[in-house]
Chain A
Amino acid sequence: MNDLRELYREVILDHNRHPRNFGELENADKVIEGVNPLCGDRITLYVKMKNEQIQDISFKGTGCAISVASSSLMTEKAKGSSFEEIEILFHRVHEMLTGDSTADASDLDNLDKLAALSGVHAYPTRVKCATLAWHALKNAIAGSDDQISTE
């Protein structure tokens, strides 16, 4: 159970139970679908953006606790961020999740609540759950309408 608490931290369980920025966003500039065929995660990401900045963002869908919490945490962090900041965050989160991070503790501090996802790196089969929303966001700011699939 101790190991599992590393993965399912309180922040994760809380964001799974009560996902933030959940629901459709009217007049979104980008609507991106993300699917994880392995476990049936399916999210839709709604993004409003102006001057290379995320003005508003929301998501809806169904998924495992990791994908829902990761999506929720991502929207919290991304709202108000510039595209440039998103790019940096994307790489930091990716490094943290895949475990090949050279980041020290202070880097994790910069990630704020996103650091709660660091336990995922011990569970390789779950990395795709945690990165789904981030890949959808990356597509949104790259101007793509393509559906994201983790397979």
Chain B
Amino acid sequence: MSSTAEPLSPLNLRGVSSLRNDFPVLHQDINGKPLVYLDSAASAQRPQMVIDAMVTQEERNHANVHRGVHQLSQRSTEAYEGAREKIQRFINAQSHEEIVFTRGTTESINLVASSLGKSILTSADEVLVTWMEHHSNIVPWQLVCEQTGAKLRAVPMNSNGELDLDEYTKLLSDRTKIVAIGHVSNALGTINPIEHIISTAHNIGALVLVDGAQSIPHMKIDVQTIDCDFYAFSGHKMYGPSGIGVLYGKKALLNDMPPYQGGGEMVLTVSFEKTTYNGLPCKFEAGTPNITGAVGLGATVDYLNSIEFDALCQYEADLLDYATEKFLELPGARIIGTANQKVSVLSFMLGDIHAHDLGTILDQDGIAIRTGHHCAMPVMEHFGIPATARASFALYNNNEDVDRFILGLKNALELFS
């Protein structure tokens, strides 16, 4: 298949320290200083291999998928469906039919909330989310609750930013039909005990959707082992393109769910009397999809498969430890989110300097961080703060990045002293 880069041999699994060179965007100056990119939790950068795969698709292979008999359409279809199979293997789904391409995590969650939610929820039912959810795992459920009369409830968390699992158990009842939970909190970095949460929900007959946007770049996901019913994630958080994402769903559930959007591709036959729907996964992919995005995501999976994931996890954990230690040496340092199990995300406040000012000051030093409520206003409410600054560390960051970040914060302290 000429449309995607050849997967690297698993024998050549690479260590982490050299990976930085794979990302062209990192090698530039911002405001006269070498870029330090610490905003990967908002959107990660893409390796050259992914960019090349997308350029090849655009330059050599583009045509519509699934419907042409000509050469380019066949190539595009192969690349598009090839990407689906790569993703299926990457998260260990049983079948490629369980992999639905979407625009991203948000659309994946909206698909389930709209299609499944509207068909099973009644005014006697409850949907359970948590206090640490991203808005995209709150609002779609709120919308479907408004339409069905179901009630939205939220699992509280403690002062470290860990879910209160006793409260979770208490909130679960025979009214609970759906549990929607983030695997990892974008605002806090907390890794939730997802297997426990899923098995407990299954015990009372509830279905579980996992928002995997923040977990997929940091850990190996096996949807069969964790036994989630749905797993949603985005390409651009895992070093792939934006505008493409995935909904994994168990085949039996997806089969029973009504279509989300109507249009071409998702139908078998159309007449004014009766339309019959296509099988999985096309039933949920109305319209011409983001073909180049899907091909790019396939290449992203190839890239991630070339990395020793255990080594990556250790590398990121060490980076977070180093950043945490250095950060806490600063006067007025406060970390928001101190869970025992965390990914490499440092959400923080520094004295009484507002996060937005910190963001501007660091940007002058060429350092990109995220500031604000991180689309998680209930998290800010829980901690009684308006906003945090967030540095998120990825496989291309290193200790020198942390040193530059700390130096930038010292500059901010000096400016506001």
Contact = CB atoms under 8 A, between A and B. Distances in A.
Given A40-B372, A40-B387, A66 B357 contact: yes
Chain B's interface size range is 20 to 34
A13 B416 contact: yes
Contacts of B74: none
Given A40-B380, A62-B386, A126 B360 contact: yes
B386 A40 contact: yes
A86 interface: no
A4 interface: yes
A123 B372 contact: no
B314 interface: no
Contact of B357 (A1, A37, A40, A65): A65
B360 to A, nearest CB: 6
B416 A64 contact: no
B360 A40 contact: no
Contacts of B197: none
A100 interface: no
A52 interface: no
Contact of A40 (B361, B373, B415): B373
B403 to A, nearest CB: 18
A38 interface: yes
Chain A CB within 10 Å — which of B31, B360, B415 has the most? B360
A65 B353 CA distance: 8
Given A1-B415, A8-B415, A39 B361 contact: no
B360 A125 contact: yes
Contacts of B356: 38-41, 63-64, 66, 126, 129
B411 A42 contact: no
Contacts, number: 58
A4 B359 CA distance: 12
A112 interface: no
A129 B355 CA distance: 13
A42 B415 contact: no
Contacts of A13: 415-416
A63 B372 CA distance: 11
B364 interface: yes
Interface string A53-83: 0000000001111101000000000000000
B177 to A, nearest CB: 32
Interface string A107-151: 000000000000000010110010000000000000000000000
Given A40-B380, A64-B354, A66-B357, A4 B415 contact: yes
Interface residues of A, number: 23
Contacts of B380: 40
A7 B361 CA distance: 10
A37 B63 CA distance: 40
A26 interface: no
A87 B200 CA distance: 61
Interface in B206-253: none
A104 interface: no
A39 B364 contact: no
A42 B354 CA distance: 12
Given A13-B416, A38-B372, A40-B372, A123 B411 contact: no
B371 interface: yes
A40 B359 CA distance: 13
Nearest to A123: B360
Contacts of B386: 40-42, 62-63
A104 B414 CA distance: 33
B360 A63 contact: no
Contacts of B416: 8, 13, 65
Contacts of A129: 356
A72 B354 CA distance: 16
B408 to A, nearest CB: 11
Interface in B399-417: 411, 414-416
Contacts of B387: 39-40
A99 B125 CA distance: 55
A104 to B, nearest CB: 28
Interface in A36-50: 37-42
Contact of A1 (B353, B355, B372, B411): B411
Nearest to A38: B372
Contacts of A125: 360
A37 B375 CA distance: 10
A125 B368 CA distance: 14
Contact of B364 (A3, A40, A42, A66): A3
Contacts of A7: 360
Interface string B342-382: 00000000000111110111001000000111000000100
Interface string A1-29: 10111011000010000000000000000
Query: Nearest 5 CB-CB pairs, A to B?
Result: A39-B356, A40-B387, A64-B356, A64-B354, A40-B386
Interface of A: 1, 3-5, 7-8, 13, 37-42, 62-66, 68, 123, 125-126, 129
26 contacts: A1-B411, A1-B414, A4-B361, A4-B364, A8-B357, A8-B415, A37-B373, A39-B355, A39-B356, A39-B359, A39-B372, A39-B387, A40-B356, A40-B372, A40-B386, A40-B387, A42-B386, A62-B354, A62-B386, A63-B354, A63-B356, A64-B355, A64-B356, A65-B353, A68-B354, A126-B356
